[in-house]
Structure 1
């Protein structure tokens, strides 16, 4: 486990070193009060590989998360207790061929209306890489195989099209898979999804008739219209200059977005015109934020501590009125 964590830190450090040029570590910014009541609700076990990567909120107040370094799907109760729901099988070679990282990791996660949890798993092997489903009372099963040389990362559910969209950070592709599973289709391979040194297409959300995707290397937020027949439209970059952007969520105010910037240790508010403002930073307890979700006015931020190696955690805050 320590070797796996070390490999992850090394890979993340490559990205962090690149990003540091654009984002000096000693930069200080005044953080507007768009978020309040900031507190750390959960601390996770770094030595056990509990580096939280992605989050799905459930109607009853619980949250399902993926732990990247331990191949696990876990559930966090409203009171803060953490329960492991499943540990995905380890590849025979230890996942050394996993693109960019060299170890297996669980990434994107969503919750379906029927109570099933869907999660992505990257291993560098054809036997295990793909989309997995954890149905209530059943063991996890892979329902769609994805390329072994890819890195499935972001996962988004389109309730209208009854399908899932998967970003591949290594291959610069968005895959589409039916909710029931099956053979994936390369839904988009637009240049806006490609990597430019480390990882490309990352977070994914369906919103306002489109799939929205972040690109970590390019620091962009991209909107891809979902055309009739669930075809991909022409991508349009909606925001730039978002160094190290990872996952994101919509605030409920039109196309306004909260997004995590991983290596810079920030959460930013992105306005519909593409401008952005920092709303959380290291002073609030961020440790390489990977994912953000919203329930009402409550903001959930996962921190994986990939390069800080200090305190993987779940941070909570509340949205404030800023209009």
Structure 2
């Protein structure tokens, strides 16, 4: 067993390498961990992976900030003080200097650093994503993150509805769809996890998503905006997510991922949500590994406490 404390940076889904990197699935997902010396370790989260860890009960720490130099080049600057997180997963200083925080206002005032401007002026995709209970959202993805963006959000079904010349145009379209079609731009992670515990039928979810995507296409087609064209293209969900997204009754993980020891075997993964078996129970639980982001963990042969009364979970 190791006593090295790693700072969790989250679950990542890489896209396939090559010129069309944003368009399809690549290697398997992984949990990215920062060691005390600033180096990184990637823990693969394939089916059959056993993940055991102990959490340090010390709150969340800052994960640093990004300096964007162009469409495919950015620097991740670690927080020098490993300060407590006060805004999302950042300290106040890292939040203020992070280029990424300016992205969502670019289409309103256009004031961004040159590197970020270069990133935003690449082609972007507008999509409609649906989650396991039918909750849906409109969103955007840069060309190089076309597939990843939806994989990391835990979508169950999704369609691309427009391909825009740049990030300014696509965000104008996104706001328009929110305003006229009523689609929000965010779905809370707690709602996604709860939905995966008892997902709606796959056929209904696909049909619901297709109907919402058609409505969004109608909105942008009538907008009179320029610099984009309407598309009809389905997003391909990761194969690893199939079991978690299929119909069946599971249970939400009964322990808070804020302290204590935890250990389980992963059988399926959708975004940051794992379908996992706790040793000695024969039950499967939906675990939101995204809740580990910003927390310190020690890896090892740890196990989750077995619920005292298993029957109460049914």
> Rg larger in 1 or in 2?
2
Per the normalisation by structure 2, the TM-score is 0.30
More helix per residue: 1 or 2? 2
The higher relative CO (CA closer than 8 Å, separation ≥ 6) is in 2
